[in-house]
């Protein structure tokens, strides 16, 4: 009996001292002091012992009961103290800890270029105007001297809508809308999305942005020299002085004479590469002196006014400015690309 009590004592006191929380401690209390515990069994059997043994074993068992009870109470205090210490540690505020950096977003590179372009034109006295992204056939083609079956329509393979409208293929439609509402003198610039049914490659996409510029005044007041000076001022403002530009004769039904405008390729510095298709130049857009037919289509008398217009691709300008070799990167949504701007 005495051996058994000693074994219970060793095991119980060891387990009680190792208990890590109050729930474990309660389980040990039931195990060693409960009605079904070994010690209670020992006490129940005391009555069957001899008188001397009864006294001795009874005293030992009661002493152990008190000792275990004491140890459990002591351990409750320890656990509570430690738990409240843990909470304090967890909730401690270190006012000297460096703040967490909040990552800030920024404007898309095309939006940055757009704002920059608008600022340059604003400084030259141009008004920024908005156009419509979905146009009717009249404003997108007919009023721009591109009637049905005109071969120039083929160059702008178009997404036609069922109601006969088009997601605009060029920002030149803004010229028509603005001149229908406003009389010259006028200087406007308009930037926005256009859509063409094209296969994508490094310099072409089916959705891109154009900037349209229009300057009109009485006949004799605006010449090609004004166009050249406005464009070269714009190019210097956007790309810096080192970029070379050139004009080539070209045809657009809404200008006469018409030009195409190129900037020197920033990758090969004019030597010829994959991006510029070996030519050393990147085509930025079309331009020319406004065809008198456009003035009559908006209700102005023929030969009363003269002016120039140009339309450039914004993605191509952003490619040159930032040294980007594929226009599709602008629309890929890849943060590794976008975070560089």
Binding site for ligand FA5 (CB under 6 A): 170, 172, 196, 198, 204-205, 208, 210, 252, 255, 283-288, 309-313, 315-316, 327
**In the complex, what is the shortest distance from the CB of residue 285 to ligand FA5, in angstroms, rounded to a whole number?**
4
**Phi/psi zone of residue 280: left (φ > 0), alpha (ψ -120 to 50 degrees), beta?**
left
Q: How far is the CB of 312 from ligand FA5 (least distance, A)?
A: 6
SS3 content of the chain, % helix, strand, coil (to 5): 45, 20, 35
Between residues 16 and 189, which has the closer beta carbon with respect to ligand FA5?
Answer: 189
From 188, 179, 217, 186, select the one nearest 121 (Cα to Cα): 188
- Residue 234: phi and psi, rounded to 5, are -60, -45
Q: Where are the beta strands (DSSP E) in 151-221?
A: 166-167, 186-195, 207-218
By beta-carbon proximity to ligand FA5, the closer residue of 54 and 132 is: 132
Query: Which residue's CB is nearer to ligand FA5, number 75 or number 327?
Result: 327
CB of 241 to ligand FA5, least distance (A): 22
Q: Shortest gap between Cβ of 294 and ligand FA5 (angstroms)?
A: 10
Q: Which residues partner with 285 through β-bridges?
A: 261, 312
Dihedral in degrees, nearest 10, Cα atoms 53, 57, 60, 61: -170
- Comparison of 45 and 237: residue with beta carbon closer to ligand FA5: 237
Nearest to 21 by CA among 79, 100, 99: 79
- State how far Cα 184 lies from the chain centre: 41
List the beta strands (DSSP E) in 196-318.
207-218, 245-250, 255-264, 281-290, 305-313
Q: Which residue is nearest to ligand FA5 (CB)?
A: 313
CA distance 151 to 133: 23
Gap between the Cα atoms of 169 and 204, Å rounded: 13
The residue (of 16 and 315) whose beta carbon lies closer to ligand FA5 is 315
Residue 219 C-beta: closest distance to ligand FA5, Å: 19
Considering the complex, what minimum distance in angstroms separates the CB of residue 95 from ligand FA5? 54
Q: Is the CB of 61 or the CB of 286 nearer to ligand FA5?
A: 286
Smallest separation, CB 240 to ligand FA5 (Å)? 19
Closest CA to 212 of 189, 193, 228, 192: 189
CA distance 63 to 57: 10
Q: Which is nearer to ligand FA5, 67 or 337 (CB)?
A: 337
Q: Which is nearer to ligand FA5, 1 or 224 (CB)?
A: 224
Least spacing, CB of residue 218 vs ligand FA5, in Å: 20
CB nearer to ligand FA5: pick between 37 and 210: 210
CB within 8 Å of 118: residues ≥ 6 apart: 128, 189, 191
In whole angstroms, how close is the CB of 200 to ligand FA5 at the nearest point? 8
């Amino acid at each position: 009996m005495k051996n058994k009590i000693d074994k219970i004592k060793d095991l119980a006191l060891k387990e009680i001292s190792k208990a890590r929380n109050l729930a474990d401690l309660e389980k040990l209390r039931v195990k060693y002091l409960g009605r079904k515990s070994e010690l209670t069994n020992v006490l129940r059997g005391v009555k069957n012992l001899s008188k001397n043994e009864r006294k001795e074993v009874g005293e030992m068992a009661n002493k152990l009961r008190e000792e275990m009870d004491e140890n459990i109470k002591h351990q409750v205090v320890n656990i509570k103290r430690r738990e409240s210490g843990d909470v304090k540690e967890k909730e401690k505020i270190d006012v000297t800890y460096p703040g967490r950096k909040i990552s800030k977003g920024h404007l898309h590179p095309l939006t940055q270029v757009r704002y920059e372009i608008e600022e340059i034109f604003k400084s030259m006295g141009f008004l920024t105007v908005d156009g419509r992204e979905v146009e009717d056939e009249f404003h997108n083609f007919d009023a721009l001297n591109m009637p049905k079956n005109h071969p120039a329509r083929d160059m702008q393979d178009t997404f036609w809508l069922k109601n006969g409208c088009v997601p605009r293929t060029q920002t030149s439609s803004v010229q028509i809308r603005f001149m229908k509402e406003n009389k010259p003198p006028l200087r406007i610039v308009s930037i926005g999305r256009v859509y063409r049914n094209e296969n994508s490659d490094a310099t072409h996409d089916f959705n891109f942005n154009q900037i349209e510029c229009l300057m009109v005044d009485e006949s004799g007041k605006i010449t090609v020299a004004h166009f050249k000076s406005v464009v070269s001022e714009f190019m210097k403002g956007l790309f810096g002085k080192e970029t070379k530009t050139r004009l080539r004769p070209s045809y657009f039904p809404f200008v006469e004479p018409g030009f195409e405008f190129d900037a020197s390729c920033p990758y090969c510095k004019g030597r010829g590469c994959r991006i510029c298709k070996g030519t050393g130049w990147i085509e930025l857009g079309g331009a020319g002196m406004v065809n008198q037919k456009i003035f009559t289509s908006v209700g102005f008398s023929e030969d009363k006014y003269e002016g120039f217009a140009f339309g450039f691709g914004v993605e191509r300008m952003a490619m040159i400015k930032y040294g980007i070799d594929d226009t599709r990167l602008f629309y890929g949504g890849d943060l590794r690309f976008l975070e560089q701007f």
